[in-house]
Amino acid sequence: MKISIIGAGSMFTRHLTVDILSIEGLDDGVFALVDIDPKRLELAHKLVEMVIAKFGKNWKVISSTNRREVIADSDFVINQIEVAGLDTVRMEYGIPLKYGVKQCIGDTMGPGGLFKTLRTLPAWLDIVRDIEELAPNTTILNYTNPMSAITLATTRVTEVPIVGLCHSVQGTSRKLADMLGVPYEELKWECAGINHMAWFTTLEHQGRDMYPVLKEKMKDPEFLALDPVRLDAMLYLGYFVTESSGHFSEYIPYYRKRQDLIDQHCGTGYEGETGFYATQWPTWRANTDQDIQDLISGKKEISLKRSYEYAALIIEAMAKNEPTVIYGNVKNTGLIENLPQDGIVEVACMINRNGINPCYFGRLPEQLAALNRSNMSFFELSVEAVLQKDRDMAMRALMMDPLTAAVCSLSEIKEMFDELYEAEKDYIPELY
């Protein structure tokens, strides 16, 4: 077994390697670590060696800043790259703010999501070309945002199988069980849509529909404050969505177009705070690097508890042919009938020795599908703008963004795009 991790300097590497080494019977293998930052790569290498030693398994670690030296013949390639994010996050928040676009996270949709796509896709597609050449029989497990854009672009340029993996389905389903006060194992649910905007179309406990229970509970202001945007949207749209209130508020036109609406519906932090990501991320990055150093020095203890991330479940199911179900982002081949075909959807997937087998869902309630389609149009234009090197198409992607369109005129969107493009010209390849 050989598993390559691209962008290995992330703290996420520790969790993934713990999960993978927790697989019973998977006692031999190689982790190939890649990162363009040699210092962070060295820390990741040491940390993974420590995790292996704690498990006592016969795995080894190789690492390089040159991916071509280490990724050949990988069984799985895990993507978790970040392209110039620290250098650009304040621009991608501050410039749109001048035009009235108040982002909370800004890494998937909106001005921030668009320019992250323009920065990330060219670097990622170069990596994909190396994967095709050196590890053509691999399976790509993508964790990098914008999830839908990265996955969509990959399906447009290669036949190498890819699945986009997020935390929102498994995290939100557990949160719903807590909010409802029922054991997670007893909560029956079905979920489908797109990444960060999939919908729990079934939510039952022992045959009882739990949506009326949620609606009754949210009459309590303290309960509503637990997840203010998602609960309010559920009241009107009928269903609970997978992504946090802060992220979700950016993907639709209803909650962030006026300050009074932000004050009424959005909380602090991930619940919708304006500028949350831009102001906090530099500190998070510094804290992550310090945490890794503390783990290596022994100042902090490495936890060997397995998480509920999907990567290890996929690897285990394929390697041992023990079928399991995950929720993954895959090409829509008729899986959700009323969403664009060949776009990327998030649905249940059966995993076995044959790989990733997406499951047919059917039709979403139309009001949910309509919101999904608005986001999918943005991803389609932004991805094709990169593939076709078309600056006007990139600008028009921003015109399709629901929040930006709710706040700005077309001329204002063009002005904002041009200002962002000029500010980030050193970080993105030129579009013509």
- Is residue 53 domain-shared with residue 130, that is, in the same domain? yes
Question: Is 311 in contact with 21 (CB distance < 8 Å)?
Answer: no
**pLDDT of res. 371:** 98
d(CA 266, CA 263): 6
- Is residue 198 domain-shared with residue 244, that is, in the same domain? yes
Euclidean distance between the first and the last CA atom of the chain, given in angstroms as a whole number: 43
66, with CB counted inside 10 A (0-12, 13-18, 19+), is exposed
Which pair of tokens denotes residue 352?
């076995």
- Is residue 394 domain-shared with residue 363, that is, in the same domain? yes
- Is residue 135 domain-shared with residue 261, that is, in the same domain? no
Q: Is the pLDDT of residue 377 over 90?
A: yes
- Is residue 129 domain-shared with residue 195, that is, in the same domain? no
Residue where a domain stops, chosen among 147, 164, 181: 164
Q: CA 378, 379, 382, 387 torsion: positive or negative?
A: negative
394, with CB counted inside 10 A (0-12, 13-18, 19+), is buried
Place of tokens 């047919």: 360
- State the total domains in the chain: 2
Write out the residue range of the structural domain in which residue 120 sits.
Answer: 2-83+113-164
Residue where a domain stops, chosen among 130, 149, 164: 164
For the whole prediction, is pTM greater than 0.85?
A: yes
Asked, for residue 286, whether it belongs to a domain, the answer is: no
- The DSSP string of 225-291 is TTSHHHHHHHHHHSSEESS-HHHHHHHSSSSSSSHHHHHHH--SGGGT-TTHHHHHHHHHHHHHHHH
**pLDDT of res. 76:** 98
The amino acid at residue 2 is: K
d(CA 117, CA 148): 10
Q: Residue 279 — very low, low, confident or very high, per pLDDT cuts 50/70/90?
A: very high
The rounded mean pLDDT for the chain is 96
- Is residue 206 domain-shared with residue 335, that is, in the same domain? yes
Contacts of 215 (CB under 8 A, 6+ apart): 234, 235
Which pair of tokens denotes residue 305?
């508890």
Task: Enter the DSSP assignment of 11.
Answer: T
* Percent over 90 (pLDDT), the chain: 96
Can you give the CATH number for the domain in which 407 is found? 3.90.1820.10
- Is residue 398 domain-shared with residue 336, that is, in the same domain? yes
- Could you report the per-residue pLDDT of 112-130, keeping only the tens digit for each? 999 999 999 999 999 999 9
| HSE, side-chain direction, 13 A CA sphere, residue 234 | 30
Angle at 111 between CA 99 and CA 393, to 5 degrees: 110
- Is residue 150 domain-shared with residue 260, that is, in the same domain? no
**pLDDT of res. 172:** 97
**pLDDT of res. 406:** 98
Distance of CA 383 to the CA centre of its chain: 16
Q: Which of 277-286, 385-394, 397-406 has the lowest mean pLDDT?
A: 277-286
Question: Is 345 in contact with 335 (CB distance < 8 Å)?
Answer: yes
- Is residue 101 domain-shared with residue 6, that is, in the same domain? no
Q: What letters, b where the CB count within 10 A reaches 16 and e where it falls short, cover 315-329?
A: bbbbbeeeeeebbbb
Beta strands 197-205 and 240-241: pairing type? antiparallel
- Could you report the per-residue pLDDT of 280-300, keeping only the tens digit for each? 998 998 898 899 999 999 999
pLDDT average, residue stretch 339-352:
97
Asked, for residue 304, whether it belongs to a domain, the answer is: no
Rg (CA), the chain: 21
Can you give the CATH number for the domain in which 126 is found? 3.40.50.720
Residue 189 pairs with which residues in a beta bridge?
203
* Percent over 70 (pLDDT), the chain: 100
**pLDDT of res. 432:** 79
- Is residue 128 domain-shared with residue 199, that is, in the same domain? no
Asked, for residue 211, whether it belongs to a domain, the answer is: yes
**pLDDT of res. 97:** 98
Which pair of tokens denotes residue 351?
């995993």
**pLDDT of res. 216:** 97
**pLDDT of res. 11:** 83
Q: Is the pLDDT of residue 431 over 90?
A: no
- Is residue 148 domain-shared with residue 210, that is, in the same domain? no
Asked, for residue 293, whether it belongs to a domain, the answer is: no
Q: What phi, psi does 228 have (nearest 5°)? A: -65, -45
Asked, for residue 279, whether it belongs to a domain, the answer is: no
Q: Is the pLDDT of residue 67 over 90?
A: yes
Question: Is 75 in contact with 134 (CB distance < 8 Å)?
Answer: no
**pLDDT of res. 285:** 87
**pLDDT of res. 141:** 98
Asked, for residue 373, whether it belongs to a domain, the answer is: yes
Asked, for residue 401, whether it belongs to a domain, the answer is: yes
Coil, strand, or helix at residue 323?
coil
In Å, what is the CA distance from 114 to each residue of 107, 109, 272, 331? Answer: 8, 6, 19, 20
- Is residue 175 domain-shared with residue 106, that is, in the same domain? yes
Question: Is 40 in contact with 288 (CB distance < 8 Å)?
Answer: no
d(CA 175, CA 192): 17
Q: Is the pLDDT of residue 236 over 90?
A: yes
d(CA 283, CA 67): 28
pLDDT average, residue stretch 233-259:
97
- Could you report the per-residue pLDDT of 146-177, keeping only the tens digit for each? 999 999 999 999 999 999 999 999 999 999 99
167 is catalytic: yes
- Could you report the per-residue pLDDT of 172-229, keeping only the tens digit for each? 999 999 999 999 999 999 999 999 999 999 999 999 999 999 999 999 999 999 999 9
d(CA 64, CA 412): 44
Asked, for residue 296, whether it belongs to a domain, the answer is: no
pLDDT average, residue stretch 334-362:
98
**pLDDT of res. 177:** 98
pLDDT average, residue stretch 323-334:
98
Q: Which of 167, 196, 247, 265 is catalytic?
A: 167
Q: CA 117, 120, 125, 128 torsion: positive or negative?
A: negative
Residue where a domain stops, chosen among 141, 164, 187: 164
Q: Residue 430 — very low, low, confident or very high, per pLDDT cuts 50/70/90?
A: confident
d(CA 7, CA 44): 10
Q: CA 400, 402, 404, 409 torsion: positive or negative?
A: positive
Q: Is the pLDDT of residue 107 over 90?
A: yes
